Structure 1
Amino acid sequence: MSIGIPQKRRKVSAQIPTIGFSDEDLTNVLYPHSDPLFMTMKISGTDVWRILVDDGSSVDILYYHAFKKIGFADRHLAPSPGPIYVVNYIEVPVVGTIKLPIVLGSGDRNVTQFINWLVIKGPTHYNGIFGREGIATFRGVASFMYQAFKFPTPNIIGVVEGKQKATRECHLATFKSDEHREHHELVMSGSLIKLADSTPSGSQGKRVKAKTDPSDKGKKKWMAQH
């Protein structure tokens, strides 16, 4: 007779309800379109609009001008571990980081979570980027086609509809300015990734060496690989 070693059971969290989209979600959507998803969220008690929902970004970005308008100052920022890079290795400096409460939804369909934001400066007509970290924190699903972000709440599925008209106005204003267009194309040209720490860990994945710019005098930059 053989005696097996009892296996520890994994703790199962509360079941997440199914999140889906249907034609009912298209009521306020203008077609045809290929518009990105922008939404309004309450950040530290302030309604902040023109937040781009981008699952191609591994970090959550709050632009400096929005950070200031919410009522914060540089003294509220924690140091950043380093700059961020887009896939073509262009460096974007980070002013600092800050953890703020975010409220999505309204009435009995709202959820509050704390998000770590990287605060950066740059010419732009929008106020932030809600990336994979934030999306995963809310356990949400975004759809640019249906112009909506859905997430579970204690009562029912919550939803934040995209601001499609504001999105188009934002893009029109962006591409009228060469400076804004250049920054927009820089940020949107690929996923944003954090600079890895000098000591690799399992959560950072494999390190890869970035291309060295001749002007950097042989300096090496390391990035976390997805």
Structure 2
Amino acid sequence: MARIDNPSIGFLEEDARLLHHPHNDALVVSIRARDYNMHRVLVDNGSSANILYYPAFQQMGISRKRLVPTNAPLVGFGGTRVYPLGVITISVTVGDYPQWITKDVVFIVVTCSSAYNAILGRPTLNAWKAVTSTYHLMVKFPTEYGVGELRGNQVAARECYVAMMEIDDHLPTMNIEKQRTVAEPVEELEEVPLDDSRPERTTRIGTLASPSIQQALATFLKENKDMFAWSHEDMPGIDLSIIVHRLNVSPSFPPIR
């Protein structure tokens, strides 16, 4: 096949034709790591590192002696710190022949509980010059013979989501003491009635402004009291896409009470 230099990467609506819409599913893919097909790999643009979870590391038959020690902890959402077992470099292949690439990926091995086997973060995505689309659940990357594709598995993504929720349910809960006040108003507020016939309909304005500005603001609010909503009846004509709640579940599962 002829080589293609700098292929253009884009996404079409056809790329999403096999997915259930609407969705907010994660981008979960399968890769070839060494001589193994590794499933349940999360593609995470927000991760600054590539993560390999220890159960997957064990199943690949890699000796723990090959881990390169590291002292840098991983800091997760909420500031939690995880100290890794070490670092390992693994050859990873993605795509289908001939639009495929094989690159060495540096993984940080951790022992945390997870429904995923690994996480591909920004270092790998940038090294591959990859472009991700969460709507299409797909990763595209340039190769010598055109644009390679790595499709996400929507079923696996939802299974991982359920599994992660079950893992969270088994974690010990934290006892939270009385909350400390972290924000206070910068000025006192004065209550202003908007409708003399409905004294319960009020709002508040600041008191640091001059009396003339306070009076002008109160008059302005009273003249536009119809812009305030006190009940659902005061908000006719709202688009149902805004006010109707829908459960983002697979259409193949019937609702059960």
TM-score by length of 1: 0.71
The change in CA–CA distance for 1:64 and 1:180 in structure 2 (over 3 A counts) is: farther
Q: What is the aligned counterpart of 1:143 among 133, 152, 157? A: 133
* Aligned with 1:66 (options 44, 56, 65): 56
Does 1:53 find its partner at 2:43? yes
Preserved CA contact (<8 Å) 2:5 2:144: no
The answer to whether the Cα contact below 8 Å between 1:38 and 1:52 also exists between their aligned partners in 2 is yes
Aligned-residue CA RMSD in angstroms? Answer: 1.7
Residue 28 of structure 1 pairs with residue 18 of structure 2: yes
Correspondence 1:84 to 2:50: no
In the other structure, the counterpart of 1:111 is: 101
Give the percent of matched residue pairs that are identical in Structure 1 and Structure 2.
Answer: 32
Match of residue 167 from structure 1: 157
Q: Which residues of structure 2 form unaligned runs of 5+?
A: 173-257
CA contact (8 A) 1:124 1:180 kept: no
**Letter of the 1:30 counterpart:** H
What are structure 1's unaligned runs of at least 5 residues?
A: 1-13, 183-226
For CA contacts below 8 A with separation 6 or more, give which structure has more relative contact order: 1
- 2:85 alignment counterpart: 95
Residues 181, 24 of structure 1: alpha-carbon distance in 2 compared, 3 angstrom cutoff:
farther
Paired residue total: 169
1:114-158 per-residue CA deviation (whole Å, 9 max, x = no partner) reads 111100011111111100001011110111110101001110100
Looking at structure 1, the residues matched to 90 and 127 of structure 2 have their Cα atoms a distance apart, in angstroms, of 13
On the 8 A contact 2:137/2:151 being kept in 1, the answer is yes
1:98–1:117 Cα contact (<8 Å) kept: yes
Cα distance in 1 between the residues matched to 2:57 and 2:135: 29
Q: TM-score, normalised by structure 2?
A: 0.62
